[in-house]
């Protein structure tokens, strides 16, 4: 049988990057607004999570879910992962772990 290898870390990273770029381009305006909210929150509080961004977007009349796959790009520019994680409080996430970020 021929085809793609099951494990290839370089190809996996390439495909991730291509997918994230395409998703970010498709939701550019909303992603920019989410990043701005994330940056403002981190500047005030020191750190920020996806839950924080979702709450801020909701308060501003936006829906975090509308980011779709672009949500994975919110912290891709201008942020550094602190190494910490927290359990999400959003019902839709089923308490999965979310990263804690700070401004780069």
For residue 79, tell me if it sits in a domain.
yes
Kindly tell me the burial class for residue 103, based on how many C-beta atoms sit within 10 Å of its own C-beta (0-12, 13-18, 19 or more).
middle
> Model confidence over 6-46: pLDDT tens digits?
888 998 888 877 877 776 775 789 999 999 999 999 999 99
Q: How many domains does the chain have?
A: 1
For residue 1, tell me if it sits in a domain.
no
For residue 2, tell me if it sits in a domain.
no
**Rounded percentage of the chain residues whose pLDDT exceeds 70:** 93
pLDDT at 86 over 90: yes
> Model confidence over 35-76: pLDDT tens digits?
999 999 999 999 999 999 999 999 999 999 999 888 989 999
E-strand ranges in the chain read: 79-87, 97-103
For residue 3, tell me if it sits in a domain.
no
For residue 70, tell me if it sits in a domain.
yes
For residue 99, tell me if it sits in a domain.
yes
pLDDT at 2 over 80: no
For residue 4, tell me if it sits in a domain.
no
Expressed as residue numbers, the domain containing 79 is 9-103
């Amino acid at each position: 049988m021929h085809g793609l290898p099951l494990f290839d870390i370089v190809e996996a990273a390439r495909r991730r990057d291509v997918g994230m770029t395409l998703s970010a381009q498709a939701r550019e305006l909303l992603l920019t607004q989410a990043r701005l909210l994330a940056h403002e929150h981190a500047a005030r509080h020191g750190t920020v999570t996806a839950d924080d961004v979702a709450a801020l977007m909701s308060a501003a009349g936006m829906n975090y879910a509308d980011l779709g796959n672009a949500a994975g790009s919110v912290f891709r520019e201008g942020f550094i992962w602190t190494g910490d994680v927290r359990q999400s409080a959003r019902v839709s996430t089923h308490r999965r772990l979310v990263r804690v970020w700070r401004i780069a």
